[in-house]
Amino acid sequence: MGNHKLWNLLNELKTPTYKWVDLTHELSETTPHWYGFAPFKKEILFDYLEDTPQAQLAPMRCFSYTVASQYGTHVDAPNHFIEGGRSLSEIEVSELIYPLVVIDKVKECAENPEFTLQISDLQDWEKIYGRIPENAFVAFRSDWHKKENLDNPDENGKPHYPGWSVEALTWLVQERNIGAIGHETADTDPSYVTTDSVHYPYPAEKYILEVDRFQIEVLRNLDQLPATGGIIVTAFPRIKKGVGSPARVFAIVPND
């Protein structure tokens, strides 16, 4: 007889006691993505409905996909910004599942679309929910996934969206030793930083990748998650020297 503890645990997680929440945008030409990337494209290679030599060779449907590495809900590996940083193929499988912490700043982001998450916000969160656990995945909830345009441009086309401060990320890494971060926007930094031509335009993103963490961008459905008690699973291709890829991400949370 084998040890069935894990089977029993999985059966328990699939009961109504728990809820499984997909945090991933569907991948298509209309998927929200960073403005600098061309939309997703697909070209049919084989089709089981066609009377062609290809269909006779293999009666199946297959596509060739053309998509940017950082398109839609995606992972950023450290080497995305840091030369010599770890690639997708070097991220350990044990890093694909983490305890999940959700920092809800929806109200603040609604009042100020360029809200920047600070150390004080994290400390205030801990006063209510307790200490952020080591190796946690910290998700910044802004409800930005509900926007038609992630850039949230004004009448002049200037973007306005929230983000992390470098100080907050530094505190999470140095004081709480977190495993990874995620957010609903297409950038780690707020828009007033990414559009600043005087300084480095992506300091928060550079920092989190520089300290050998990965991040997940363009998340959705964080509004369906509790602040604590859940776990998050991230899945993406093991691409040799890969800097990023569309990802499938989901959370398992108590169904209170």
Tell me what pLDDT residue 214 has: 98
Q: Is the pLDDT of residue 134 over 90?
A: yes
Name the pTM for this structure.
0.94
Quickly tell me which residue has 């991400």 as its tokens.
249
Tell me what pLDDT residue 132 has: 98
Task: Compute the distance between CA of residue 98 and CA of residue 133 in angstroms, rounded to an integer.
Answer: 10
Terminal CA-to-CA distance of the chain, rounded, Å?
A: 35
Q: What is the mean pLDDT of the chain?
A: 94
Tell me what pLDDT residue 48 has: 79
* Lowest pLDDT segment from 46-50, 75-79, 112-116, 163-167: 46-50
The DSSP bridge partners found for residue 181 are 138, 215
Task: Compute the distance between CA of residue 180 and CA of residue 211 in angstroms, rounded to an integer.
Answer: 10
Which of the four pLDDT bands, split at 50, 70 and 90, describes residue 197?
low
DSSP states along 54-83: HHHH----EEEEE--TT-SSEEE-GGGTST
Give the closest residue to 138 by CA, choosing from 110, 155, 157, 119: 119
Q: Can you say whether residue 229 is alpha, beta or left, with left for phi > 0 and alpha for psi between -120 and 50 degrees?
A: left
Q: Which domains does the chain have, with CATH numbers?
A: 5-33+68-254 (3.50.30.50), 39-67 (no CATH)
Q: Is the pLDDT of residue 222 over 70?
A: yes
